[in-house]
């Protein structure tokens, strides 16, 4: 593979080379890359904005994360935040800080991942900033989305007796990360060695190339369900439940045997001697949706694919509890994935 030095293109040559292949697909995108700011046109809708900063060594390890996957994931985690508001992502801006060890081809790989994510989710790239970095790779993405005025879902609307719903399964991304870390140690960090990941595709995909649950947002809309509260699960179910309960001033009760766990994650957990329920409750980066719905929506929820009911909302004085398989009661703690510690 050829290696083009970034400095050989200059900042604007580089931006052009990286962004030329991004089409404009949303009518709300009036002006994208190439001016001081992007111009967006939203007549009737509310606008959503979210942002995420990814730093090498903290949020990703380039020893085992392919750059294309990194770009894909960096975009998708932002889309996930917009879906978590019951909105639709429409535009992103991408800022990169890159050290001299990266070539133009490396940046193209990151942008190719971002482009695939944008294509898959119907999102337009509208701006950004690329600069040198003295150290590692920095990726900062902001995402703009739209939502119907009366259908935005916050974290603070849950009320006693609401059902607590979770999409997909939890803990798989965390088990994928544990596998990658194990292989990294085993291979001494040589990035030219291909470890054997046979049969581990699912948990690796969950860690390296997660998807955002657009299908669930579409499904909820088709069923006429507006959740009472919703957020995406990026720091673990326990932590996110505590956010919803705190902001809504309610308690909750969830059931261990209802927590959705994949077969592959359970096998990996056994192999690594990790408690899979702990992984599901506290492992990060699943990017599934956690939401609460009125009890009247129970039948509609049962008809939806990929949604499980894991418990219910209680009055605030009842506290936040997990009921174990033997009926034992365990107070929920947020030992989630805190990137500040």
Of 207-236, binders to its own copies (CB under 8 A) are: 231-232
Q: Is 49 in the site for its own copies (CB under 8 A)?
A: yes
Of 144, 216, 226, 279, the one binding its own copies (CB under 8 A) is 144
Q: Is 131 in the site for its own copies (CB under 8 A)?
A: yes
CB of 267 to its own copies, least distance (A): 31
Of 71, 127, 168, 227, the one binding its own copies (CB under 8 A) is 127
Of 18, 19, 22, 38, the one binding its own copies (CB under 8 A) is 38
Q: Is 340 in the site for its own copies (CB under 8 A)?
A: yes
Of 17, 103, 151, 154, the one binding its own copies (CB under 8 A) is 154
Rounded alpha-carbon distances, angstroms, from residue 206 to 200, 264, 304? 10, 11, 22
Q: Is 161 in the site for its own copies (CB under 8 A)?
A: no
User: 181-216 burial string, b = 16+ CB within 10 Å, else e?
Assistant: eebbeeeeeeeeeeeeeeebebbbbbbbbbbbbbeb
Of 18, 74, 85, 266, the one binding its own copies (CB under 8 A) is 85
Q: Is 123 in the site for its own copies (CB under 8 A)?
A: no
Q: Is 95 in the site for its own copies (CB under 8 A)?
A: yes
Q: Which residues contact 298 (CB under 8 A, 6 or more apart)?
A: 163, 309
Q: Is 335 in the site for its own copies (CB under 8 A)?
A: no
At residue 44, φ and ψ (nearest 5 deg) are -100, -20
Q: Which is nearer to its own copies, 200 or 214 (CB)?
A: 214
Of 19, 22, 33, 59, the one binding its own copies (CB under 8 A) is 59
Per DSSP, the three-state class of 277 is: helix
Parallel, antiparallel, or unpaired for β 329-331 and 251-255? unpaired
Q: Is 151 in the site for its own copies (CB under 8 A)?
A: no
Give me the torsion for CA of 74, 75, 78, 84, rounded to 10°.
Answer: -120
CA atoms of 213 and 86, how far apart (whole Å): 10
Q: Is 36 in the site for its own copies (CB under 8 A)?
A: yes
CB of 105 to its own copies, least distance (A): 16
CA atoms of 11 and 127, how far apart (whole Å): 13
């Amino acid at each position: 593979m050829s290696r083009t030095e970034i400095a050989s293109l200059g900042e604007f040559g580089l931006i052009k080379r990286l962004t030329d292949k991004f089409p404009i697909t949303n009518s709300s995108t009036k002006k994208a890359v190439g001016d001081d700011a992007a111009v967006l046109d939203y007549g009737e809708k509310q606008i959503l904005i979210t942002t995420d900063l990814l730093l090498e060594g903290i949020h990703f390890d380039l020893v085992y994360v392919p750059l294309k996957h990194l770009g894909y994931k960096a975009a998708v985690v932002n889309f996930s935040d917009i879906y978590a508001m019951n909105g639709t992502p429409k535009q992103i801006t991408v800022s990169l800080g890159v050290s001299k060890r990266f070539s133009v081809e490396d940046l193209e790989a990151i942008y190719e991942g971002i482009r695939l994510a944008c294509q898959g989710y119907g999102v337009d790239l509208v701006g950004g900033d690329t600069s040198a970095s003295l150290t590692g790779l920095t990726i900062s993405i902001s995402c703009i989305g739209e939502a119907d005025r009366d259908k935005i879902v916050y974290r603070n609307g849950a009320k006693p007796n609401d059902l607590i719903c979770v999409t997909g399964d939890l803990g798989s991304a965390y088990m994928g990360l544990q596998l990658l870390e194990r292989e990294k140690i085993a291979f001494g960090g040589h990035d030219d060695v291909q470890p054997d990941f046979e049969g581990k595709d699912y948990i690796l995909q969950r860690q390296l190339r997660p998807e955002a649950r657009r299908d669930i947002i579409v499904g909820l809309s088709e069923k006429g369900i507006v959740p009472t509260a919703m957020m995406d699960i990026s720091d673990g179910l326990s932590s996110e439940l505590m956010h919803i309960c705190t902001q809504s001033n309610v308690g909750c009760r969830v059931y261990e045997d209802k927590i959705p766990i994949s077969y592959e994650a359970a096998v990996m957990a056994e192999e690594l001697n990790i408690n899979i329920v702990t992984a599901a409750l506290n492992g990060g980066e699943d990017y599934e949706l956690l939401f609460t719905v009125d009890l009247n929506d129970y039948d509609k929820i049962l008809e939806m694919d990929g949604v499980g009911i894991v418990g219910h909302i209680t009055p605030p004085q009842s506290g936040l509890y997990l009921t174990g398989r033997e009926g034992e009661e365990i107070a929920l703690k947020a030992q989630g994935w805190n990137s500040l510690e």
